[in-house]
Amino acid sequence: MNQRQIAESAGIIWNTWMRSELIDALPGHCRPSNRSEAYAIQAEVARLSAQSLFGWKIAATSTDGQKHIGVDGPLAGRLLAGRVMQSGSALELGKNLMKVAEAEFAFRMGAALPPRAARYTAEEVLAAVDTLHPAIEIPDSRYRDFVTVGAPQLIADNACACWFVIGPEVRADWRARDLARHPVTAWRNDALAAQGVGANVLGDPRIALTWIANELSEQGIGLGAGETVTTGTCVLPQAIAPGDSIRADFGELGSVSIEIK
């Protein structure tokens, strides 16, 4: 793709997002055919937003999730600073198509992991982490039928990023815990809605974090110090509607909540 095609695709996605509209797909003449083209469009969408980069999200971190949207692996998307909320905030759901909330482990980086030829090891990635946070992601898509458009178009659409709710820094010694086996529960209006564990995220949220470090390195992007990475849902995505109170409970690692208007 040339820069004109990248700009055209990004403009379509950004304008569709801002108008709360939907499209069937990107036009054939400016549709990405691979991940590199898709990430170039995603970067242009972020530029058009005029928002700073808060961090990154990982979509499709479970086999079921990958099958659901017809992809063969995870996808990375940008978290825009203007779409980040603190725990306890109220969110107007509006015309959100997906209407789900996801309970996730989020890591804030203390050191950068720039692009390089060699792959990053899990030990290197974890050593670069500063803090861990419980989080809720509320994704969305700009495609009417997001399960059929394929990985490149989903990446271009920011991997279904929309809203991100970050909880307080974990004070417990999370590095000494087995995050793969750590229980996570989702609550809707004070009723238990779902239960899961960290292993639902590529086998371990730390594996997911390592995956995105290498995905972004291979794309010449890298992870920056201070950026936050949310690693994918530990429970089945929970349906939400205006009037709902949603809480993700990580036990000794804390909790995070959002009110839906």
Residue-level pLDDT at 163: 98
Residue 197, domain member (yes or no)? yes
pLDDT of residue 169 exceeding 90 = yes
Query: Residue 114, Cβ neighbours under 10 Å: how many?
Result: 12
From the list 193, 191, 190, 199, the residue with the least C-alpha distance to 234 is 199
- Which residue(s) pair with 132 in the sheet? 107
Domain that holds residue 208: 52-260
Nearest to 106 by CA among 159, 38, 174: 174
Name every residue whose Cβ is closer than 8 Å to that of residue 116 and which is 6 or more positions away in sequence. Answer: 217
| pLDDT score for 69 | 85
Confidence of residue 261 (pLDDT cuts 50, 70, 90): very high
CATH code for the domain of 119: 3.90.850.10
**Does the reported pTM lie above 0.85?**
yes
- A 10 A CB-CB count for 11 gives 15
**How is residue 33 written in tokens?**
């055919």
> pLDDT tens across 113-143, in order?
999 999 999 999 999 999 999 999 999 999 9
Residue 36 lies in a domain: no
Could you tell me if residue 200 is inside a domain?
A: yes
What average pLDDT does the structure give for the chain? 97
pLDDT at position 106 is: 98
- Could you give the residue ranges of the DSSP H alpha helices within the chain? 3-18, 35-49, 63-69, 122-127, 151-156, 205-218
Q: 124 with 113: CB under 8 angstroms?
A: yes
The length of the chain in residues reads 261
**Is the pLDDT score of 161 beyond 90?**
yes
Asked whether residue 30 is domain-assigned, the answer is no
Beta-bridge partners for 109: 129
- For residue 52, with 0-12 CB atoms within 10 Å meaning exposed, 13-18 middle and 19 or more buried, which class applies? exposed
In a domain, 90, yes or no: yes
The CA distance from 37 to 75, in Å, is: 13
- Is the model's pLDDT at 157 over the cut of 90? yes
Taking alpha carbons only, the member of 73, 136, 65 closest to residue 100 is: 136
Q: What is the pLDDT of residue 3?
A: 98
Segment 64-120, tens digit of pLDDT: 888 888 898 999 999 999 999 999 999 999 999 999 999 999 999 999 999 999 999
Q: What is the DSSP letter of 242?
A: T
Residue 163 included in any domain: yes
Residues 195 and 187 sit within 8 Å (Cβ to Cβ): no
Q: How many domains does the chain have?
A: 1
Average pLDDT of span 34-55: 98
Residue 124 lies inside a defined structural domain of this protein: yes
